[in-house]
Amino acid sequence: MADRTNDPNQHVLVASRRQFLREGGTIVGGATVSAVVGGDVLADPLHGENLPPNVPEWMKSPGDPVGSQLYGTPSPFEKGVTRNIPKSGDPVFWTSSRTPLQDLDGIITPNGLFYERHHSGVPAIDPAQHRLIIHGLVDNPLIFTMDDLRRFPSQSHIYFLECSGNPGFKKPYGKTASDLVGLVSCAEFTGVKLSHVLQEAGLRREAKWIVAEGADAAALTRSIPIEKCLDDALLVYSQNGERLRPQQGYPLRLFLPGFEGNMSVKWLRRLHVVAEPVYSREETSKYTDLLPDGKAREFTFYMDAKSIITHPSGGQKLKSHGFHEISGIAWTGRGKIKRVDVSVDDGKSWQEAQLQEPVLTRALTRFRLPWRWEGGPTVIQSRAIDEIGYVQPTLSDLVGVRGDSSFYHNNAIQPWRIAADGEVTNAVGDFLNPHKNDDKNGR
């Protein structure tokens, strides 16, 4: 490689960078990003030698050759961006890991950071020995290999997946967006429409439910209404372009867009077509919501509209006054997000945020709001409204309706407190006993 320091174009580049530094970058509303022009960057004792106008060390010799990583991994400087297992000492967390929502941009969750929830660990399945059986109220019971399933016409869709215990219903504990709501992720899923495969089997008239079973030690089992199976249910084998990761159900999972996460059965081995739900453990003792009248609500399929500000969010710190972009994610199991409102004055007033295209059905939607922080303490929060007109509630409104005995399906507004020094913390009031209904086994 030529010595770049002797390249005349290099000097032009260096000169324009210096000019940029002197003038400062300008952005929305004429606000200046002061970090870019921080006065002492050139004198920084640690990094000074690599800063403009010097030629950084990484330009002085060729870098690693192509193929030095046959499967790519992020920059070592990003090693802090990982799945999150909150260290609360509570064993319930050891069976799930959360997406670091506050560290991600856009709407797609990288496969290595997709949240995990396993009831009995991750089975190591040889795809050559994996089969999907369809039986029960069908004309032709069938057994498929993975190759058989890949012969069907395929579809790809971007969808979110969210655990119904995200977060538990009590005072949501944890500091960061990930601690609180990290059991939601979003990816492009590829597979076969379940309705195509069911057509092959030939549904009988009495077929009303399909019981899906996973090939893990938990044999996780859920009954799914036939309407969903014939609508947008997918038999998924790929996620974000590559085959499913073992944690996400390799080699085959059921995917039910918009439904609570535990119904999207991973490591799918069996579809039993029946007339009535089977009332498995995961639809009786788990994943039901105890209401104030003492009755348990069962089969709460769809995840209601929800949103969270991921920047700035808990654990972060605003380092300077002036311009900050507020940004976050919103989603609804009922279809598309129609609007997201943001309040920067502790709920006194609300402004409509900008929705980033594409706004997709049953996918995360990114929202943004330009904001100037004048330095005072405040509370910021977001409120999602979906296309059926449903408005994301506050936690106190939700508890008012649901009582305080529920555990699942908390889609309350998440407020963040910003202190005068810029520190961002979880501002959910502790009018509720934080651990009262924590479920030690469920989620």
Residues that bind ligand MTE (CB under 6 A): 114-119, 161, 163, 214, 216, 218, 220, 247-248, 261-262, 264-267, 443
CB closer to ligand MTE, 331 vs 371: 331
Q: Report in angstroms how near the CB of residue 400 gets to ligand MTE at its nearest.
A: 27
Q: Report in angstroms how near the CB of residue 407 gets to ligand MTE at its nearest.
A: 13
- Neighbour-count burial for 217-244, b at 16+ CB within 10 Å, e otherwise: ebbbbbbbbbebbbebbbbbbbbbeebb
User: Binds 402, which of Mo ion, ligand MTE, none (CB < 5 to 8 A, cut-off by type)?
Assistant: none
Phi-psi region of 422 (alpha: psi -120 to 50; beta: other; left: phi over 0): left
CB closer to Mo ion, 262 vs 332: 262
How far apart CA 251 and CA 259 sit, in angstroms, is 21
- Asked if 249 touches Mo ion (CB under 5 A), the answer is no
Which residues fall within 8 angstroms of residue 249, CB to CB, at 6 or more apart? 214, 236, 265, 266, 267, 268
CB closer to Mo ion, 266 vs 402: 266
User: Binds 103, which of ligand MTE, Mo ion, none (CB < 5 to 8 A, cut-off by type)?
Assistant: none
Handedness of CA 49, 53, 54, 57 (dihedral sign): positive
What's the order of all strands across the beta sheet hosting 209-214?
142-144, 132-136, 268-274, 209-214, 221-225
CB closer to ligand MTE, 240 vs 327: 240
Q: Report in angstroms how near the CB of residue 181 gets to ligand MTE at its nearest.
A: 13
Residues 262-281 that bind Mo ion (CB under 5 A): 262
Interface with Mo ion: number of residues (CB under 5 A): 5
Q: Name the residue type at position 196.
A: H
Q: Name the residue type at position 439.
A: D
Measured CA distances, 241 to 120, 188, 197, 207, 227 (Å): 27, 7, 22, 34, 28
Contact mark string toward Mo ion, 62..101, x via CB under 5 A: ----------------------------------------
CB closer to ligand MTE, 224 vs 265: 265
- Asked if 261 touches Mo ion (CB under 5 A), the answer is yes
How far apart CA 433 and CA 404 sit, in angstroms, is 9
CB closer to ligand MTE, 265 vs 395: 265
- Neighbour-count burial for 381-413, b at 16+ CB within 10 Å, e otherwise: bbbbbbeeebebbbbeebbeebeeebbbbbbbb
Residues 157-216 that bind Mo ion (CB under 5 A): 163
CB closer to Mo ion, 193 vs 286: 286
Q: Where are the beta strands (DSSP E) in 259-321?
A: 268-274, 289-290, 296-297, 306-311
Parallel, antiparallel, or unpaired for β 234-239 and 242-243? antiparallel
User: Binds 118, which of ligand MTE, Mo ion, none (CB < 5 to 8 A, cut-off by type)?
Assistant: ligand MTE
CB closer to ligand MTE, 170 vs 222: 222
Q: Report in angstroms how near the CB of residue 377 gets to ligand MTE at its nearest.
A: 36
Q: Which residue's beta carbon is nearest to the bound Mo ion?
A: 163
CB closer to ligand MTE, 217 vs 401: 217
- Asked if 130 touches Mo ion (CB under 5 A), the answer is no
**CA angle in degrees (0–180, nearest 5) for 360-176-339:** 30
Measured CA distances, 170 to 74, 95, 239, 310, 352 (Å): 36, 19, 33, 21, 28
What's the order of all strands across the beta sheet hosting 337-343?
351-352, 337-343, 378-386, 416-418, 424-426
Q: Segment contacting Mo ion (CB under 5 A): 69-77, 115-123, 124-132, 218-226?
A: 115-123
Q: Report in angstroms how near the CB of residue 264 gets to ligand MTE at its nearest.
A: 5
User: Binds 311, which of Mo ion, ligand MTE, none (CB < 5 to 8 A, cut-off by type)?
Assistant: none
CB closer to Mo ion, 157 vs 286: 286
Residue at token pair 């092959």: 200
Options 103, 109, 117, 192; binder of Mo ion; rule CB under 5 A = 117
How far apart CA 417 and CA 413 sit, in angstroms, is 13
Q: Report in angstroms how near the CB of residue 218 gets to Mo ion at its nearest.
A: 12
Measured CA distances, 127 to 48, 131, 217, 219, 228 (Å): 52, 8, 17, 17, 27
From the list 246, 245, 237, 262, the residue with the least C-alpha distance to 156 is: 237
Q: Report in angstroms how near the CB of residue 214 gets to ligand MTE at its nearest.
A: 2
Q: Report in angstroms how near the CB of residue 346 gets to ligand MTE at its nearest.
A: 32
How far apart CA 86 and CA 89 sit, in angstroms, is 8
CB closer to ligand MTE, 214 vs 328: 214
- Asked if 382 touches Mo ion (CB under 5 A), the answer is no
Q: Report in angstroms how near the CB of residue 117 gets to Mo ion at its nearest.
A: 4
Q: Report in angstroms how near the CB of residue 439 gets to Mo ion at its nearest.
A: 11
Q: Report in angstroms how near the CB of residue 381 gets to Mo ion at its nearest.
A: 25
Q: In the complex, which residues of this chain contact Mo ion (CB under 5 A)?
A: 117, 163, 261-262, 443
